[in-house]
Structure 1
């Protein structure tokens, strides 16, 4: 049976401002997304029936307990394949095999990357012929981060994060990721943020700090640490105070700055270059036994392998 494999990147939010809760339950944000070199793979194989079946590849490094990993209708992979089939009128089934490397519920958009890779893989397998923009519009119905996982690179995200304006970066940045052994539910972190800010006059963000954009465009590693911001840090630390310790240890190990990625709990440490990133990883491992991963960005969005 024919198989198509697609790959999509995880992301970090180098800048993330969050407005008050809206009437529709969402929050307006101003985000600067950066796709990084930690990937999810989806292998799509045609079936003769109309079933959509999902399995987890044993090579998945982000899954501690494969038995508890959800493979049913609640998985974004199933929802993405079903949405594409319904939108295009396609009726054949598919086997979808997931290789997960992006931390689960880690603030890096791993589920969105799964959905993006599924859309690309099934679109090619089924010959449904949608272009990238059409897939992104479909993906937005699955989650605000899915369109960015399709496009990749770097982008400013407004609205709920799916109103994207791409940025052409002149140089890469190197990061060290420190995943947690647990996840944080994004709705739970937003809920905590709302509770912490109750009674505060919280503005609705309308833009990303231009100085932040300029520092990232130029790869200015002196200005960049001073411009990085994430409103979700406050809530993530309230739910998991130990993240503050990991953040401080990262900076003590020589990182230019440390931030909570998205809603957490993954900590992202900025390094000056790949050699510096390896030095940070070695020091964290030697001194406190922390397992960390080197990544860089920007990288392309979802594509066929």
Structure 2
């Protein structure tokens, strides 16, 4: 008799770009209220969950993931354990993550892993929470996890984890320029706070509550790259550029090679360039690569976490 084939479920979940990012005043608890417009893009993480007695995690794929933890500090491991705890599931799971979203690039790859893990384990274990039941667990794991579960285009408020879907039409074409700058999110926020304190006279008081500008919502609603290019904004960009001045050259390079606009995505260091179509995306990507910059093309919006295979 052969050994019984272990069941597997594979789920893919998208990375994201922050098309718009506004940061409110620093709160007493050390956090900021933010208002973000997220767009899920066609760079996907794939998580395969296999029946197992215990919990384990490994990475494969084109991206060097040797620096990533595979223990309890990894968000995907926390996602699996939290789901087991909440549902009283007694078994474990063997997770294999195929990485395609750049690491520490502000594109939510780790959050996509966690979202994909939740959906894969729910399916594998038959715990039956479904997407709606998984959302509260996703929100506990991190601000970007619910969005990776839902995908599409959405407005995030509060800490970024209170989501409401945004109407979006058409497809936007992006070129993502990757940098080795290695910016830490808390460090970028601290630089922003320092900049605001130092220039309080000129900048005036920061509002506690912030919202996504109407212009950017209108641009995605009609699917117009021109209007989106004009309305994209990121409050963290100035701080990121101060900490990694090489990103300024990168932005100028993209904009002088056919991009309608470029923006630092989230806390960086990934720079997202908006272009008109697939041909322009390919041309800008080639130009960046010739200049020694790693670059990828992607389109958005795309759906959130989806089961793509099970056996």
TM above 0.5, yes or no, is yes
How many equivalent residue pairs?
A: 298
Structure 1 unmatched runs, 5+: none
Q: CA RMSD in A?
A: 1.3
SS of the aligned residue for 1:141 comes to: helix
SS of the aligned residue for 1:223 comes to: helix
C-alpha contact 2:179 2:293 (8 A) present in aligned 1: no
Deviation at 1:184, TM superposition (A): 2.0
Match of 1:217? Answer: 221
C-alpha contact 1:169 1:217 (8 A) present in aligned 2: yes
Match of 1:192? Answer: 191
SS of the aligned residue for 2:294 comes to: coil
Match of 1:37? Answer: 42
Q: Which residue of 274, 279, 283 maps to 1:279?
A: 283
Match of 2:248? Answer: 244
Match of 2:301? Answer: 298
Residues 1:83 and 2:82 aligned together:
yes
| Partners of 1:271 and 1:205 in 2: CA distance | 31
Deviation at 1:170, TM superposition (A): 1.4
C-alpha contact 1:105 1:186 (8 A) present in aligned 2: no
Match of 2:120? Answer: 121
SS of the aligned residue for 1:282 comes to: helix
Deviation at 1:185, TM superposition (A): 2.0
Deviation at 1:211, TM superposition (A): 1.2
Deviation at 1:284, TM superposition (A): 2.1
Q: Which residue of 265, 269, 272 maps to 1:268?
A: 272
SS of the aligned residue for 1:101 comes to: coil
C-alpha contact 2:147 2:163 (8 A) present in aligned 1: yes
List per-residue Cα deviations over 1:94-144 (Å, max 9, x = no partner): 111111111111111111111100101101010000021221111110101
Match of 2:55? Answer: 52
SS of the aligned residue for 1:292 comes to: strand
Match of 2:167? Answer: 168
Residues 1:3 and 2:3 aligned together:
no
| Partners of 1:148 and 1:262 in 2: CA distance | 14
SS of the aligned residue for 1:191 comes to: helix
| Partners of 1:53 and 1:115 in 2: CA distance | 14
Deviation at 1:182, TM superposition (A): 4.5
| Partners of 1:110 and 1:27 in 2: CA distance | 22
List per-residue Cα deviations over 1:158-201 (Å, max 9, x = no partner): 11111111123111100000111353222222122112212532
Q: Which residue of 253, 267, 274 maps to 2:257?
A: 253
| Partners of 2:172 and 2:286 in 1: CA distance | 19
C-alpha contact 2:45 2:100 (8 A) present in aligned 1: yes
Match of 2:63? Answer: 62
TM score, norm. by length of structure 1: 0.94
TM score, norm. by length of structure 2: 0.93
| Partners of 1:231 and 1:53 in 2: CA distance | 38
Moved more, 233-242 or 263-272: 233-242
Deviation at 1:33, TM superposition (A): 0.5
SS of the aligned residue for 1:91 comes to: coil
C-alpha contact 2:179 2:294 (8 A) present in aligned 1: no
| Partners of 1:5 and 1:23 in 2: CA distance | 42
C-alpha contact 2:177 2:288 (8 A) present in aligned 1: no
Correspondences of 1:219-234 after superposition (within 5 Å): 219-234=223-238
C-alpha contact 1:17 1:205 (8 A) present in aligned 2: no
C-alpha contact 1:31 1:157 (8 A) present in aligned 2: yes
| Partners of 1:211 and 1:204 in 2: CA distance | 21
